[in-house]
Amino acid sequence: PKVKRKHKLEKLQYFPALNRIVVMERGEVVRIFNPHTCREEEALYGHKGQPVACEYIPEHRMLLTSAVDRTVHFREVVRGYTLKRRLHTAHPQYCLRWSPAKSLLYSGDEAGRIHAWDYATLAEVLRLEGHSDTVLDLVLLPALGLLISCSLDKLINVWDVVTGDLRNSLVGHTKGVTCLAYIPSHHMLFSCGFEREAILWNPFMKTPITKLEGHTCSLIGIQDIPGTHHVMTADRAGIFKVWDVRSSQCLQTFTSTDDNVSLDDLSAFCLATDRAHLFAGIYDLSVFTRGKEAVATDADDQPVRCVLYNVVSNTFITASGRNIKVWDGNGGSQLRLYDNVARHEITALCLDDRKRKFIVGDQRGHLDVFNYANGVFMKPLHSHRGELVAMSYVAHCKCVISCSSDGTVMIHDENPAERGRLLRSLTIRPCRGDSLVAKQPGDDEGAGGDAGSAGDVTAEAGAGSSAGPTGQWGVIRSSILAASVLSKLRVGRGGGGGRGPKE
């Protein structure tokens, strides 16, 4: 479901103790949403400018909001979010963080200063100066007595909250830093900004541990997933990634699969209700639910020989025994099972250029084409005499290249509707010498050297095709195990004549 807003969303924040989502948008209104019903419960008026930050104080049942009008509002939740107090500041406060241990409210302003306010009197009791631009996020580490801040000046500062001293400055970002996330169980700090990578830190070290790379657009935020070893990042293009903090590896990449929900130019997101719901949007507040967990009964009885990702349908296809399975790319659940589609055990697998067909090769050398959506057999291709070990689809000419353990490489035209057409077959015989010589059909036995000391490559042309491998190749001493298509390869021609490399 989605909720249409008039103004662009700027920030979403979920407070577990309140069990509500606070929505800040380009306007003067702060809105409160129920994450279970996805309905707006309250619209809070009173600011004379755009709201930029919020915080919830469970001990006092008080919701705090700050705006560019240089005020912080204190609203009593139990009385319908009634405005109880108003704090006036010299500059807009772009982040708020509550410290229950000391009953202090920390805030960061656009001048780069960090303030500590006494809750009872609203008096400023501490000021930290060390940034030269707007402070956008704060993280408290009460067990260590530290406060961590990030700013548009590209710095992350670590402060001692007792003495107010600057303990460390983390340098590694090349652009402004907008968001922080701390994982207490691993003592790890994550940060992100206007770059395409999030950075992992040890707060006591000056240089980064590693970078989480993989996004293609600037990040809008990073959030830890409580109760797990994971963090989630999101970028402007609406791509979400889940990372394992122990290995710094990406575990999952996903986005909206609904044609009616566009996340391009995504501006805000948050996780809510025990991590089961993801709220995100630009103008529409969209809600995404976690998919069904994969169950053990979906697992294959035999080893999985091939796995491919279908980028068009966001699914995975696996081959095990004679069976094909299609899996959901988001939740990992099994979507379809094509039972016994192959004549013998599947050993090779590839997809066509439009990802609408899959081609299987089996242990006896058979190649067959099937419909990806329903598993229906479509047509056969020319068979090898030995086990299929590798296949690749060449999109621009709609050809399938197959390699077999019998030493043959075949090029198939996949266009004909009834049966694929063999275009070319290369036979690689065992090599007993120091070189492998490509042999043209019609050459005599000694054209490439002594047949007893060098293996031959014979090109057999199919209908409408011409053979033409020439020159000296590398040594092949055993069966083919893998192959890959090179779109462009500069090959030097052997012998004299002064001719240079040919592409």
Q: Give per-residue burial for 369-381: e unless 16+ CB within 10 Å, then b.
A: bbebeebeeebeb
Whether the pLDDT of residue 496 is over 50: the answer is: no
The pLDDT of residue 107: 98
**Res 237: pLDDT:** 93
Measured over the CA atoms of residue 446, residue 448, residue 454 and residue 458, the dihedral's sign is negative
Q: What was the pLDDT predicted at 260?
A: 79
Higher pLDDT, 299 or 249: 249
pLDDT for position 449? 33
Do 202 and 189 meet the contact criterion of CB atoms below 8 Å apart? yes
Q: Which of 360-364, 394-398, 482-486 has the highest mean pLDDT?
A: 360-364
The 10s digit of each residue's pLDDT in 257-270 is: 877 778 888 999 99
Give 229's pLDDT tier (boundaries 50, 70, 90): confident
* Mean pLDDT in residue range 247-251: 91
Mean pLDDT value across residues 312-329: 92
Look at residue 299 and tell me whether its pLDDT is greater than 80.
no
- Which is more confidently placed, 124 or 417? 124
pLDDT band at 330; cut points 50, 70, 90: confident
Distance CA 164, CA 149 (A): 13
Give residue 456's pLDDT: 37
pLDDT, residue 116, reads 97
CA distance 340 to 322: 5
**Structure confidence by residue, pLDDT tens digits, 440-486:** 333 333 333 333 323 333 433 333 334 444 444 444 555 566 666 66
Residue 94: what pLDDT? 97
- With beta carbons less than 8 A apart as the criterion, state whether 77 and 63 touch: yes
Give pLDDT, residue 284.
78
Look up residue 145 and give its two tokens. Answer: 């007595």
In one letter, which amino acid is 423? L
Q: pLDDT tens digits, residue range 117-176? A: 999 999 999 999 999 999 999 999 998 999 999 999 999 999 999 999 999 999 999 999
Decide the pairing of beta strands 436-439 and 455-461: parallel
Q: Are 348 and 391 in contact (CB under 8 A)?
A: yes
Residues near 81 by beta carbon (within 8 Å), at least 6 away in sequence: 32, 42, 44, 63, 75
Question: Band of the pLDDT at 291, cuts 50, 70, 90?
Answer: low
Indicate the pLDDT class of residue 298, thresholds 50, 70 and 90.
Answer: low
DSSP string for 227-294: TTTEEEEEETTS-EEEEETTTTEEEEEE----TT---TT--EEEEETTTTEEEEESSEEEEEEPPPPP
219 pLDDT more than 60: yes
Give pLDDT, residue 436. Answer: 35
Average pLDDT over residues 395-408: 89
The pLDDT of residue 275 is: 60
Distance, in Å, from the CA atom of 328 to the CA atom of 314, rounded to the nearest integer, reads 7
For residues 295 and 162, give the distance between their C-alpha atoms in angstroms, rounded to a whole number. Answer: 50
